Amino acid sequence: MLIFGHPWIDSPRFVKIFSEEEIEKTAPGDLLLLEPLNVSIELARHCRKNDLPFAVTISSLKEALLANALGAAFLLCQHETGIEVQKIAEEYLFDAKILVLVEDEREIETMARFGVDGVLFPKAIVQL
């Protein structure tokens, strides 16, 4: 299981990005976080074209399918969406990994029981 933002584990920053200019301000190793997909489609295309790993927030199965097709490395979502999307991601062999946003360490075990790829604590998310 992938765990991002936990104080015991080193992990990359997920940097909220709203423009191409902001991408240039990120550090090597940062993951670009686009949100939501319907307003960041051009940024997603830019990232894919330039081989920049990116994550995108999703709130539905349809958004997950589209984000995966656009080349997202990670799909960030809430619990219920993550559990639903994980099953489909396994069926269709998504390249993207499903991450559920969690606040409490106890949620790590819950998401592991559902087979979710990983969790993301808010501490790992930054905005420039």
* Contact residues for 117 (Cβ-Cβ < 8 A; gap 6+): 1, 2, 86, 89, 97, 98, 99
Q: What DSSP designation does 25 have?
A: T
What is the number of alpha carbons within 13 Å of residue 77 lying toward its C-beta? 25
Torsion on CA atoms 92, 41, 123, 99, rounded to nearest 10: -10
Model confidence, pTM: 0.95
Per-residue pLDDT of the chain (128 residues; tens, 9 = 90+): 999 999 999 999 999 999 999 999 999 999 999 999 899 999 999 999 999 999 999 999 999 999 999 999 999 999 999 999 999 999 999 999 999 999 999 999 999 999 999 999 999 999 98
Residue 91: per-residue pLDDT: 95
Residue 64: per-residue pLDDT: 97
Contact 76, 120 (CB under 8 A): yes
Quick count: other Cβ atoms within 10 Å of Cβ 23?
19
Residue 123: per-residue pLDDT: 96
Pick the CATH number of 2-127 from 3.20.20.70, 3.90.550.10, 3.50.50.60, 3.90.640.10: 3.20.20.70
Residue 52: left (phi > 0), alpha (psi -120 to 50), or beta?
A: beta
Residue 114: per-residue pLDDT: 97
Residue 19: per-residue pLDDT: 95
Residue 128: per-residue pLDDT: 86
